[in-house]
Amino acid sequence: MNDELLSAHGVGKTYSTRSTTSTALDDVSLEVRAGDRLAITGRSGSGKSTLMHVLSLLHSPTSGDVRVAGQPASGMSERQKDRVRNERFGFVFQNFQLDHRQSVADNVSLPLRIAGKSRAAARRRSLDLLDRFGLAALAARRAGDLSGGQKQRVAIARALANEPQILFADEPTGSLDSQNAEVVAETLLAYPDEGDTALVLVTHDDALARRCSRVIRVQDGRLADLAEAVAR
């Protein structure tokens, strides 16, 4: 049985101006399998966030390719990539990326509505998720009125709305206090237990990275090492 969900093959990413070219990623190859808790670490500017953006099809590589369930992303149209991101991937960012004008429930419902779910079905699913995260009482509140910890839990609920195969999290605890950071970390680390799913986590927090099953360190756009972390 092939449990590979995602793979990168010789991926490079460069950015060019009229006078300079900078390399963000250089010949990166890796795979993400069901059950993985993969931490991507590195100093600021090392290329770790760029790697996540390329793996999740938010950015296209300059060279090499990314494959989703064996299908090369280079052969996908932008519309197909959008569909993959909405149906197979979930995203959690440090700055939450919520629509502060909309209600909490509407924020969580958004991926479901994009996927074509009815308004009633999307609302039922969003309320179920909010109840799971202890946020049901906040469903009608504007997202902009929440605390940082509440916003991040709403962002996680939204990321899980379509039951993604891979949950991508970019510095998800970076702007939280220690108590809320622990709640968010526990929630994210538990996700691969829910089926044929995986977590890809970008973090500068070494303690959090050590709680993952695999740790990749990015240095100057290359993979400096790949280590098996201590099991949770």
- In total, the chain counts a number of residues equal to 232
The helix-helix angle for 104-114 and 148-159 (nearest 10°) equals: 20
> From the first residue on, what is the mean pLDDT of each consecutive set of 10 residues in the chain (232 residues)?
87 92 94 96 91 96 96 95 93 90 95 91 94 92 93 92 94 87 91 91 93 94 72 46
Say what the pLDDT of residue 108 is.
96
At 230 the pLDDT is: 46
The pLDDT value recorded for residue 229 is 52
| SS3 track for 80-95 | HHHHHHHHHEEEEECC
What is residue 154's predicted lDDT score, i.e. its pLDDT? 94
User: Are 173 and 203 in contact, with CB atoms under 8 Å apart?
Assistant: yes
pLDDT of residue 228: 59
For the chain, the domains span 4-228
CATH homologous superfamily for the domain 4-228: P-loop containing nucleotide triphosphate hydrolases (3.40.50.300)
Q: Is the pTM of this model over 0.75?
A: yes
Consecutive H or E run containing 24: strand 21-33
* CB 168, CB 160: distance < 8 Å: no
CA distance 47 to 61: 13
